[in-house]
Structure formats: structure tokens, C-alpha cells
Structure 1
Amino acid sequence: MRFEISVLDESEISLCQDLAEDRNWTREEEKWRLLFRAGTVFGVRAPDGDGLAAMAVATRYGDTATAISMVVTAARYERRGLGALLMRHILATCGTPTSVLTATAYGRPLYERLGFAARGAVTVFFGEPVAGETGLTRAATPDDLDTIAALDLEAFGASRREILGELLTRHGLGFRIAEGPTGALGFAGAWRYDGITLLGPAVADGPETAIALITDLIATTPGPYRLELGDHQTEVVAWAEKLGFAARFGVPVMEHGPALRDRRERQFGTIALAFG
């Protein structure tokens, strides 16, 4: 049986959602719309004519890195190499030296065979805390995109300007900026999908700034909340747990190719696991 890879467009979003549901994932409409607008969605159409046999998404960040996500195979087409087929296609065509992803326990052995190596971990927290504004941050506007993109580039090691612009102007619930005497100290954004507000991305010069930014997002957006924190951010993890967030699960962050020249100590919240 021959399987061919196609590039899907946003009109086919329901095919991706149906396949996600086939593996007991939620439909996450807003996240899929952002994935389609910021990345390239690849699909393998099912030979039996019933939707997709497999899918994967590549979100490119400039000429430096590609985030790979949503690597899913339909239950009835398992163990036919479709995940590996899609992964090899993305690695061969993405046009960046480095690729990043967060791995499920099921997918990690495949990624390791392809040369990915773990370089940290992220824990996902959920909660519905209440917070008052700190007065230490201000609401961001589209005019702040240059500042936000520059802070993010230094922290992440690759340009995510396009997706940050989508969140700031179309998808997000709001961004906050913290400023000091010499300029911006950090930013944080929030966006909503699947009935939950994800508090991220967040970049800051240190834990105190990050906590102020996230606190002000909680004060100005509806709950419940999801917060994805690197395990190296022990001070913010302790603060989140004290505020009432509960850890739900953790995943390794994996990288293929040259290591990103990032500053992980400044990363305090992901855009979402799907975006690296």
C-alpha cells in the first residue's frame, strides 16, 4: 500500500480534528487555526477514503528552527511507518538546521531513532486562581510587536515574529509588557482555546518580572488557566503551585541538529507545546 504526503489547507481543518479525536485528543479549533496560519500542515490521506491516515505540522521560525507537532496516526493505520514518513519529510524539506518538538511517551522512541535528543522538560499546570493587578506591567499594543519579537528572539534563539504577531493582533486575549529604566524587561501573552486560557508565551529577565507579568494576565483574562513551565524555572513553579496551580503532566523538549543559541533562563512560558 502506497502512502503519499499532501499539504493541507485551512478548509480541511475538520480532517485534522477528526484524526485528533480518533486518538482521544480534543478538537481545539482555535489552536488548529493558528497552526494552519503560522505553519504547514501535512497529511497522508487514508486509502480507504475515510479522512486522514496520519498528519504532522511544521512551524518554521525564520531560517533557524522548525517546530514539529501534532504527529498523529489513525489507530487503524498504526505500525505502518507513517509517523516516520512524515517526520523524515519535514526534516528533509523544512529548510532550517534545527528542529524542536515536545514528545509524548509514545512518540519519543521514534524521535530518538531520527536523531532527536532531550534538552529539558516542560510541566503543564492547570488552575483557576484569582489575582489582582500588580501595577508593574502595562497592556501591550500592536505597536509593541518589534519589542516583543526582539525579546523573544534573544530568549528562544529563533525568530517567532510571525506567530507572535498573530497572537498579538488576531488570536490573543492580551499581552503585557514590563519595563525598567533602560527599556523592556519582558512580556507575556495569553490566548484561549478549548475553553482554557493558556498563559504564554512569557519571556523575562528573571522570576520576579515573570511572576508580575503572569499575575497581571490572570487579573485581566478569564479562567480556567493552563501554564506550561520549564522544569528549570523552579521559583516560578513554586509560586504557581502556591497560587493554586496543579501539575497535570510533563513532557521532554527535544532538539534535532545544532543546538539553538537561546537563553532558556529567560523563557517562563511556552506559546503552547505544539509550537516548541
Structure 2
Amino acid sequence: MEIRRLGVDDVPECMKLVTDRGWGWTPAQWEMLLSLGPGFGAFDETGLLGTTLVTPYPEMQAISGVLVGSWAERRGIAGALISNVLDAGPSVLYATDMGEPLYRRLGFHLVGRASEYHGEIAGEAAGVTRRATADDLPAVVALDKAASGFTRDAFWAHVFGGSSVYTPHVAEDGFVCTRVMGETLVIGPLVAPNAAAACEIIADVAAGAGPSRVDVSDPDVEAFLSGKGYEVRGACALMVHGVDDVGGDRTRYFAPASLALG
């Protein structure tokens, strides 16, 4: 088995792993993540066996895309791929229930959890958000760094660029991004001054938009979503390696940019 860096030309093979495992990732997502940081693949004579992606921030790196084909299980491939990138420095990731034991063995520890809420909000938007413009970029970057603890200029340059899958919106002392996956509007990252404001922002961008999803850990936001008829369809553990915890003021960080980006 050989581990080597992935390129855009490898995306079709990555999508075979996505199909095999029933993930919802699209080629555009792979291409975006590969533009933001390196990806690595495990190969043998039959082709691509597994992948992992890294999005580097000055504070730590976000690990994602840990995916191994069903035909290559129980060969230590996921562990080898993750171990291959851990020397780069502190790391953060969201782990599924299946992956959490592996990450614990590799030295990760739990610092939080996020539940995946799915539902729909009828009616019209209240107007507490507006579409962001280029003039909003510096303020959004500053708010994101303060709340998430990540300096991610490259990500925000992509979001505000012409080919982004994200649509940024701003609100008073906060912001939110949305993107469409299939028929579902995915909400995040979301930064707000408090939980009540976060709920207003979610309702604003989700109103009349059809099915939506938001990954949250704040109990007040969870109660709000449950009250709107949202249901939990999964949960992931927020884990770190080489550092005690994630940074930032997490009381203002209500939804991640994605489970891949932190």
C-alpha cells in the first residue's frame, strides 16, 4: 500500500468511495476541500482504497474525508492515513460513532458533540439577515476568528468568490452561510451574539426554503429546532489531538462551517 497526495484528477475515484459508503459528498465538495488543503489517498495495485483530507489553519488543522472502501476494511488503512498527517500539529475533527474509537486510540479526546437536525420552517423570512457583499468580508472574517478560534482566510476568500457553494448572509453582530446539498439547505457556519439571535437567524434563512439541516450543540438552539418539528438524524463527536480544546468563544459559534471544516 502507498499513501500519496490526491489531486483533482482523483476526484472520480474518491466519488466511488462516496457511493460505496452512501455519503452525500459531491465532486464540488472534494474540489473545494482539495483547493483549501492537501488530501491523501491510500493506493494499491487495484486503485484507491481510502482517503483523508486536511484543511490547515494557523491554530490547528481540520481533518476530514476519512473514507475507506468496504472492500478494504480491517486493513488499518484509516489509521495509517490519519497517522500520516498528525505530525503537522494540533488537529480537530468531527467523528462518527463508528470512527470515535479509532480516533481515541490515536490520541484524540472529546471536547464536544454536534447533533444533526433536519426539518422545515414554513412562512416568510423576518428579515433579520441580508445577503453579504464584498464589503462585509473583513467583519465576517473577524467575527469567525473570534468565535471559532480559526484563522481561515482562504476559506472566506472562497465563500465570497464567484464559484462558491456557500451563500453568506450577515445579521446584527453575526453572520450565517447556507449551501444546498441535494434538496436540503445546509446552514453553517453560524455566529451570533447569543442563542436567541442564533434561532432568529436560522428561522430567517430557513423560512420557505424547504428541507434544511443544521448541526448544533447549544441546548437552547436544539430546543428551538425541536419545537419547530426538526428531528435528529445523527450526531458527531468534536475531538482534538495535540491541544486541550478548540479555541475561540464557542458560546457564539452555533454551527460549524461543515463537519469537514470545523
Letter in structure 2 aligned against 1:52: L
1:238 aligns with 2:223: yes
**Aligned mates of 1:28, 1:147 — CA distance in 2:** 30
Which of 85, 88, 100 matches 1:108?
100
Which of 186, 190, 197 matches 2:178?
190
**Aligned mates of 2:200, 2:101 — CA distance in 1:** 38
**Aligned mates of 2:63, 2:170 — CA distance in 1:** 28
> What is the deviation of 1:20?
1.8
TM-score normalised per structure 2: 0.92
Moved over 6 A (4+): none
> What is the deviation of 1:173?
5.0
Matched residue, 1:227: 214
Trace 1:55-94 onto structure 2 (pairs within 5 A).
Answer: 55-61=51-57, 63-92=58-87, 94=88
**Aligned mates of 1:79, 1:33 — CA distance in 2:** 28
CA root-mean-square deviation:
1.7
Trace 1:166-181 onto structure 2 (pairs within 5 A).
Answer: 166-169=158-161, 170-172=163-165, 174-179=167-172
Question: Does structure 1 conserve the Cα–Cα contact (< 8 Å) formed by 2:129 and 2:205?
Answer: no
> What is the deviation of 1:24?
2.7
**Aligned mates of 1:42, 1:18 — CA distance in 2:** 15
Q: Spell out, residue by residue over 1:222-253, the C-alpha distance to the aligned partner (whole angstroms, 9 max, x if none).
A: 332111102xx111111112222211111111
Letter in structure 2 aligned against 1:77: A
> What is the deviation of 1:27?
4.4
**Aligned mates of 1:208, 1:168 — CA distance in 2:** 27
SS in 1 for 2:160: helix
Trace 1:1-276 onto structure 2 (pairs within 5 A).
Answer: 3-48=1-46, 51-61=47-57, 63-92=58-87, 94=88, 97-169=89-161, 170-172=163-165, 174-179=167-172, 185-219=173-207, 222-230=209-217, 233-258=218-243, 259-276=245-262
Give structure 1 stretches of 5+ with no counterpart: 180-184
**Aligned mates of 1:247, 1:52 — CA distance in 2:** 33
Letter in structure 1 aligned against 2:26: E
Letter in structure 1 aligned against 2:253: Q
TM-score normalised per structure 1: 0.88
**Aligned mates of 1:223, 1:30 — CA distance in 2:** 22
> What is the deviation of 1:77?
1.8
Question: Does structure 2 conserve the Cα–Cα contact (< 8 Å) formed by 1:7 and 1:43?
Answer: yes
Question: Does structure 1 conserve the Cα–Cα contact (< 8 Å) formed by 2:91 and 2:241?
Answer: yes
Give structure 2 stretches of 5+ with no counterpart: none
> What is the deviation of 1:120?
0.7
SS in 2 for 1:264: coil
SS in 2 for 1:217: helix
> What is the deviation of 1:150?
0.6
SS in 1 for 2:122: coil
> What is the deviation of 1:212?
2.2
**Aligned mates of 1:135, 1:77 — CA distance in 2:** 50
Question: Does structure 2 conserve the Cα–Cα contact (< 8 Å) formed by 1:138 and 1:177?
Answer: yes
